[in-house]
Amino acid sequence: MISINGLSFSFGAQTIFDDTSLTIDDCKNGLVGRNGSGKSTFFNLISGNLTPEYGNISISNSGKIAYLKQAMAFDDVDMLPHEFVLSNIAFYNNYNALMEKLENTESPDLELLHEFSEVESVFNNHNGYKLKEDVIQVLESLGFKKEAKKRIFELSYGFKMRLFLAKLLLDESEILLLDEPTNHLDLPSIKFVEEYLKRINKLCIIVSHDRAFLDSVCERTLELNNKKIKKYNGNYTFYKNQREAAIIQTEKERENLMEEKARLEEMIARIKDNVKKVNIASSRQKFVDKIDDKLENLEDFSKKEVSFMRRDEVLRSDIGFRVKIKEKSYDKQKILEDIEIAIRPTDRIFLIGANGYGKSTLLRIIASRDTNFIGEVKENEKLKLLYFDFDKIAQLKDETTVLDFIYTDGVDNFRAKQLLGMMLFTDDDYEKKIKVLSGGERVRLYLTKLFCSTFNFVILDEPTNYLDIETVDVFIDWLRGLKSGFIIVTHNEYLLKTLENVNVWRIEDRQLKKHFGNYNDYKFFENKYQQEEKKKEETKKAEKAKPHDARRERQILIEKRSSINKQLKSLEKEIELLETEKKDLYAKMTAEDSYKMGPELKKISERVKQIERMLKTMYDKWNKLIDEMPELGDE
């Protein structure tokens, strides 16, 4: 549990938190708020990277914290992905280090054996003998296929972020702070993370632009608004319903108070000049003052919304793009091949597929940003393209100010400020450098620049990453109202499901496949197909277990036997030492001159009894390990 008492924090003249208090429960908590409201700052305060100006944050049981930031810095380590994850799991490394020390020590002392016994117990409680297999399985679920055989320094930034997410999911921390964990993940990987987080018993605080993800995972919702944090006892949909009900109730109360205030002020105006009724007027004025206090203390739910520019035009033509790709490769690895498509200026398309399958590559080829392929792209000469490339966000120059970034030919100071204002940038933001902006603010800034020009076709690569949920809602309305066509790559399932008049194209096995209907239709037929395939697979398994499964089970048994044998070896050394000590002490106790030892004899006797108790425990443990030793049988 995390307790926050009287928290206040500012960046310069900007107050982020003002005397806010709450308790965060030991469960999955969604953290919501507008971009720039302080979500990342809140994480940095909890993790100890920042210190509150006033108030305090206390964490029960001194829980270890793991923090996934929106952007991480990585060392180019010469390790395989699963080796990296394992190297960051303390109990696994402690066990292996001590085991190696024991194996290289001819006569380990009792202290070393005791230490190993404790470490070994932790290892067994965590199913350490199965950990390597679990790590590999988690990495596979996060999309590591051919990347699993690459060294860390060979991985793309997106796969490095997934690797760090895997490390956090598997480590021994009690508290997880996850800032946009679904960025860089495809839809199957997101589903895996959803189910994984629901299974683990940890306090989690999650920032995500994906409401479907928050609804699936979170049991509480924390809202950052007006420099305060408010807790709602449910998922994101529960929070939205409760908030909307609170807005209606608050506005009704505000309306009633304003009516009562107007009535009292009218009465005061009528009688204030009447000397006989001056006391009544004074009394009514006190009621008005109390109403003003109540009005001031009512929660302010008002929020400004982003206004996406509608600068789209209609290109009346049957052809926008003609694309022929015979082959597109990276490092001799084919990504796309034998693709031939025609795109009309009014086509509305979602492009989906697993990460690494070439979605962004295809968008760059269509937009003529990538010409290094075998084939051609023919574009309507009247086409005016708006192209959003999410990778460009990371390339924005840190030292450039917000206002300077927007200046382009044909955009003067007044127009630049007007465009920025529509995207919720204020006068205080104009001179800010890009390096201090949040991820969502950077996305809004990049979109602002794109909206400086008119367009008649839109290509968007992961446009909702880092945007807050309210801005995603406005963005969806903007897409609905577009007169131009678009192609969008996104992993935001709410966006995919909400826009219904959009066709689905999918990349798989280097090919482009067009599906009937919208995303909801695609999911219906996909689920139906998966259910049929599952039945076929279950039938095959019932007939005969797969050899691969048998080998895998045998390998688990071998690893378990190896682990038990190591424990037995360690236990036998410890028993041997204690038996030797017991024998020596008996010899002293039964010696002819033992009567001369006085008080020392009593101490020896007590130590012998202690050793006998320890030996009983160890023999019981030895017998238990023997019983747990699995039989391998014939291969």
Residue 562 and residue 124: Cα distance in Å, rounded? 13
Token pair for 213 = 């993800």
pLDDT at 160: 85
Residue 602 and residue 564: Cα distance in Å, rounded? 38
Token pair for 243 = 């908030």
Residue 478 and residue 495: Cα distance in Å, rounded? 12
Residue in the structure block whose two tokens are 């574009």: 379
Token pair for 307 = 């206004």
pLDDT at 6: 92
Mean pLDDT computed over 89-100:
85
Note whether 485 and 346 are within 8 A (CB): yes
Residue in the structure block whose two tokens are 């003003």: 292
Residue 518 and residue 524: Cα distance in Å, rounded? 10
Note whether 139 and 169 are within 8 A (CB): no
The torsion defined by the Cα of 16, 17, 22 and 28, in degrees rounded to 10, comes to 10
Q: What angle do CA 403, 404, 405 make, to 5 degrees?
A: 90
Residue 440 and residue 208: Cα distance in Å, rounded? 11
Residue 404 and residue 408: Cα distance in Å, rounded? 9
pLDDT at 205: 94
- Which pTM value belongs to this model? 0.69
Token pair for 102 = 């024991």
Instruction: Give the model's confidence band at 306: pLDDT under 50 very low, under 70 low, under 90 confident, else very high.
Output: confident
Which of these, 484, 480, 508, lies nearest to 495 by C-alpha position?
480
Mean pLDDT computed over 360-368:
93
pLDDT at 633: 63
DSSP secondary structure, 16-27, as one string: EEEEEEEEE-SS
Mean pLDDT computed over 162-173:
86
Q: Is the pLDDT of residue 255 over 80?
A: yes
Q: How far is CA 30 from the centre of its chain?
A: 11
Where in the chain are the domains? Answer: 2-85+130-240, 246-297, 321-530, 548-628
- Please give the CATH superfamily to which domain 2-85+130-240 belongs: P-loop containing nucleotide triphosphate hydrolases (3.40.50.300)
Instruction: Give the model's confidence band at 373: pLDDT under 50 very low, under 70 low, under 90 confident, else very high.
Output: very high
Backbone angles phi, psi at 218, to 5 degrees: -90, 140
Mean pLDDT computed over 403-425:
80
User: What CATH number labels 321-530?
Assistant: 3.40.50.300
Mean pLDDT computed over 21-45:
89
CB atoms within 10 A of CB 112: 17
Instruction: Give the model's confidence band at 235: pLDDT under 50 very low, under 70 low, under 90 confident, else very high.
Output: very high
DSSP secondary structure, 184-236, as one string: T--HHHHHHHHHHHHHS-SEEEEE-S-HHHHHHH-SEEEEEETTEEEEESS-H
Q: How far is CA 346 from the centre of its chain?
A: 35
Residue 616 and residue 629: Cα distance in Å, rounded? 20
pLDDT at 547: 55
Share of the chain above pLDDT 90, in %: 21
Hey, do 2-85+130-240 and 321-530 end up sharing a CATH topology, with the first three levels equal?
Answer: yes
* pLDDT tens sequence across 175-217: 999 998 988 788 888 888 999 899 888 899 999 988 889 999 9
* pLDDT tens sequence across 502-558: 999 999 888 999 887 888 888 888 777 777 777 777 777 766 655 556 677 777 888
What average pLDDT is seen over the chain?
Answer: 85
* Half-sphere CA count of 571, side-chain side, radius 13 A: 21
Residue 226 and residue 37: Cα distance in Å, rounded? 8
Q: Higher confidence at residue 46 or residue 70?
A: 46
pLDDT at 99: 82
At 466, is the secondary structure helix, strand, or coil? Answer: coil
Residue 452 and residue 442: Cα distance in Å, rounded? 16
Mean pLDDT computed over 25-36:
88
pLDDT at 207: 92
pLDDT at 489: 93
Q: Is the pLDDT of residue 248 over 70?
A: yes
CB atoms within 10 A of CB 595: 8
Which of these, 159, 162, 184, 168, lies nearest to 393 by C-alpha position?
184
pLDDT at 409: 59
Share of the chain above pLDDT 70, in %: 95
